[in-house]
Amino acid sequence: MSHPELFDLTFAHVDCDAFYASVEKRDNPLLRDKPVIVGHPGGRGVVTTACYIARRYGPRSAMPMFKAMALCPDAVVIPPEMAKYKRVSQSIRALFAKATPLIEPVSLDEAYLDLSPGIRLIDRPAAVLLVRLARAIERDIGVTVSVGLSYNKSLAKLASDRDKPRGFSVIGRAEAVSLLATLPATAIHGIGAATARRLAAEGITRVDQLQALPEAALVARLGKFGRTLSRLVQGDDPRQVVADRPCKSVSTETTFSQDLAGFGPLTEALRMLAGSLEGRLRRAGLAGGTVVLKLKTADFQSVSRQTRLPDPTQRASVLFEHALPLLRRMADGRAYRLIGIGADHLVPAEQADPPDLFTAGPHP
């Protein structure tokens, strides 16, 4: 690889290639040349990961499983084994830690690294360290990664997506703005489906159109995010790599075997999930200050509502009690294929469920 800024860039995004499927192929070499989909077979779930062979036929992550199997009927479907994937992720993280202490995990299969001088643990340019890391991960752990190297986080992420699998892509300062100008607006970090629709309604679908708008115009359209967006489209991202980012939410959900409508059946499903959520919060040593209810309609439209709790809690009964009015408003006759409940605004467990007048203990 050759690039004028190759040895000056220090922000990296490392992304495992089709991670869950790659782990399964590593553990069963007979699957190496076969299309593999990780997901729950025969149910109403979605694809967790599709290997690159399967992707040739159309399956993608988050696609409904029935649709993926229609596109690739010969795929080998393997239920996900999250504990195993977590162990592999920890092994990869341990290799990262030999190069830098500044590692910001995004998920089990991707992370940002800051390999700046004075931070990195080995006195070699970031590009050299990243090549060594990619080779060590493939040799010692048995999965491949794609690497993006740039001068900030958003461009490093963009670079890692450019040449998968086993890719190593660089975006320097000199070409950043012109390269961004060629991309669709959805390539920019933070522009999701809803924002893309709002922009498209005004005929804005490309980054070069966003680059031509002054910051005030973007703020008028998108509020506070417009100010951030005006910087991102010019290749400016001030975010730093933050190690050990605290957990922001804990949740659990279930997909029904058949669509459910009506307050009664949905209530029973919610009650069971509240119990599961309590267990997750207790294991994590956390409590939630907000309860979030999520429902997904039969046509895959997600709807969520939330309410702030009087005090942070871990208790299933409290979570259920405050989620129930949200469910009552959302159970309006529509059929739902999924329900989930989560806790947000997390605090340490010690702050959970303070005693009240009736639970403070015996009278003096």
Rounded Cα–Cα distance for residues 34 and 37 (Å): 10
Q: Annotated catalytic, 110?
A: yes
For residues 39 and 166, give the distance between their C-alpha atoms in angstroms, rounded to a whole number: 23
SS3 361: coil
Q: Which of 24, 104, 110, 278 is catalytic?
A: 110
| Contact predicate 39/48, CB 8 Å | yes
- Cβ atoms of residues 312 and 289 within 8 Å: yes
Omega before 35 within 30 of 0, i.e. cis: no
Burial 29-61 (b: 16+ CB within 10 A, else e): eebeeebbbbbbeeeebbbbbbbebbbeeebeb
Query: What is the rounded CA–CA span in Å between residue 86 and residue 82?
Result: 6
Q: Which residue has the tokens 């050759």?
A: 2
Which residues are part of the catalytic machinery? 110
